[in-house]
Chain A
Amino acid sequence: MIRRWRAQNHAEREFERQALEYLEGLYNFAMALTRDRTEAEDLVQETYLRAFRGAAQRLPTGDVKAWLFTIMRNIWINDQRRKRRQQDTEELDVKEEDEGMRGRPLADERHRPDVMHEQRSLGQEIRHAIESLPAVYREVIVLRFLEGFSYSQIAAIIGCPAGTVMSRISRARAELRKRLNHHVVGTVNVPKEEGHTASKRIRGAGEAYE
């Protein structure tokens, strides 16, 4: 009995270690979904709360990372549904893929003079580009390009057919490319080997754009 309990305890510690490894990715996913720090913090905490509670009853088998992202997305979707029920006048961009690029307007701080200078950071610019997409695209961008999930894993996380994932990723990518094009276009002829030079040129292009 004690041995079994020890083994169980070991498995739990291992699970905890693994689960905490994905904190950064989950927080980034939460920010991409909510675009709001407080909401993202709540979402991350709620996700871990549920994950730990679920694991206390039965440790998940298989892909812990995909499991955590799925939990987070489900919580967020349910919250969105509830909000939609509460105030159905507000338009939410959860489901309608064909609604094009009409996302919930982002509280745009880019034009505030005090944050203008920060704009030079490439990360900041990419962040804004992603945040300006509707939720359906924000989530696949983060899952695919920042978290490295495969199409089939993404299909499982967001609960839709692989074909839908493929077309969403393609459209998301096209939209994002449009927003960040100035970083890519000017450097087409830079040979791959000169990665370092290429990134310098990328920055150069960004400054020229501003």
Chain B
Amino acid sequence: MSEHIVHLIELYLDEELEGEERQRFEEHVAQCAECRVRLEREQRFMALLAHARPLYTVPEGVRRHIEQLWARPSGSRMRVFAWALGVVAVVLAVFVFRAYVYDSVRRSWADPGNRRSEFALLAVDTHQRWVRGQLPLEILSQSPEEISAWFADKVPFNLKLPSFRELPGQPKPYQLEGARLVGFKNDYAAYITYRMRNRPISLLVTSETVARPSGGEEIRSQGLVFHFEEINGWKVLSWSDRGLTYALVSDFEERGQASCMVCHPSASEQHKLEGLRR
């Protein structure tokens, strides 16, 4: 009688034994009572585990939330499609009737004035690459002063990151993580990353003379004009203030104004922040 092959029992039951090996195992078990007993015991043990499946049940709210997740981006794809068809129709009509205006049509196509701005697209692209781990940060720091100082001789504008004033009972809702330079229009823009409840948020900043916020839905708040749009499933909020243009990218579910709460929660608006945190 060959030696006991106890070490193969698990592999056999996990269907990891093949061909000759499997055959030899089965032959051995057929004529060895001891291995057979062990095999049956292990089988019973596995049945026991399988019997307990599922160990946990999915809360109904989680299921609903996830079903909605998919519905949302696919809806936006539909809108983009309808919009693209509309644009194609308009371009064709113009092209047929007034061929000579083609040039100006092409210009307006590229004009970010009423659609997505190049700056917002860059913000999303940069954010995406950072989230995927393809874009390392050049400075890691939680100090706004330190990051502002790092940018001082690197970008052609004066960047001063705000410090969050922590009020009693109102802890800092986000955490500064780091920053890097990003190429934009023959110069650099400042790219700054944050985390809010472990979710990534980032801010792209450049001079107002280089990029103006445009496109999307306009929201007026606190004397500023914000542009809110969704690009590739990311929420982008862009605005200009005191000579600088900003684009904030996040994956928060809320639209427009609620995104502002990320950086500007005030006591009276705390409830909105709660909504943002889900």
Contacts of A189 in B (CB 8 A): 37
Q: How far is the CA of A190 from the CA of B37 in the complex (A)?
A: 10
Q: How far is the CA of A52 from the CA of B74 in the complex (A)?
A: 9
Contacts A41-B62, A146-B50, A151-B14 hold; do A198 and B56 have CB atoms under 8 A apart?
Answer: no
Binding site for B on A (CB under 8 A): 5, 9, 12, 16, 19-20, 23-25, 27-28, 31-32, 37, 40-42, 44-46, 48-49, 52-53, 56-57, 79, 82, 122-123, 126-127, 130, 141-142, 144-146, 150-151, 166, 169-170, 173, 176-177, 180, 183-185, 187-190, 192, 195, 198-199, 202
- Residues A20 and B66 in contact, CB atoms below 8 Å apart: yes
- Residues A49 and B62 in contact, CB atoms below 8 Å apart: no
Contacts of A145 in B (CB 8 A): 46, 49-50
Chain A residue at smallest Cβ distance from B133:
A78
Question: Could you mark each residue 27-62 of chain B with 1 if its beta carbon is under 8 Å from any beta carbon of chain A, else 0?
Answer: 000000000010011011111111111111111001
Q: How far is the CA of A40 from the CA of B134 in the complex (A)?
A: 26
User: For window 247-274 of chain B, which residues contact chain A by CB distance below 8 Å?
Assistant: 251
B103 within 8 A of A: no
Chain B residue at smallest Cβ distance from A146:
B53
- Residues B59 and A41 in contact, CB atoms below 8 Å apart: yes
- Residues A199 and B41 in contact, CB atoms below 8 Å apart: no
Interface-central residue, B43, B51, B66, by most chain A CB under 10 Å:
B66
Q: How far is the CA of A188 from the CA of B35 in the complex (A)?
A: 12
- Residues B52 and A82 in contact, CB atoms below 8 Å apart: no
Question: Could you mark each residue 219-263 of chain B with 1 if its beta carbon is under 8 Å from any beta carbon of chain A, else 0?
Answer: 000000000000011000000000000000001000000000000
Contacts A169-B14, A198-B44 hold; do A49 and B55 have CB atoms under 8 A apart?
Answer: no
Of A48, A79, A142, the contact of B69 (CB 8 Å cutoff): A48
Question: Could you mark each residue 6-24 of chain B with 1 if its beta carbon is under 8 Å from any beta carbon of chain A, else 0?
Answer: 0000110011100000000
B106 within 8 A of A: no
B100 within 8 A of A: no
- Residues A188 and B48 in contact, CB atoms below 8 Å apart: no
Chain B residue at smallest Cβ distance from A16:
B70
Q: How far is the CA of A151 from the CA of B10 in the complex (A)?
A: 12
Contacts of A199 in B (CB 8 A): 51
Chain A residue at smallest Cβ distance from B38:
A188
Contacts of B40 in A (CB 8 A): 188, 192
Contacts of A42 in B (CB 8 A): 198
Q: How far is the CA of A122 from the CA of B53 in the complex (A)?
A: 11
B67 within 8 A of A: yes
B77 within 8 A of A: yes
Q: How far is the CA of A141 from the CA of B77 in the complex (A)?
A: 39
Contacts of B144 in A (CB 8 A): none
Contacts of A27 in B (CB 8 A): 54, 56-58, 62
Contacts A45-B65, A127-B56, A145-B50 hold; do A180 and B73 have CB atoms under 8 A apart?
Answer: no
Chain B residue at smallest Cβ distance from A148:
B50
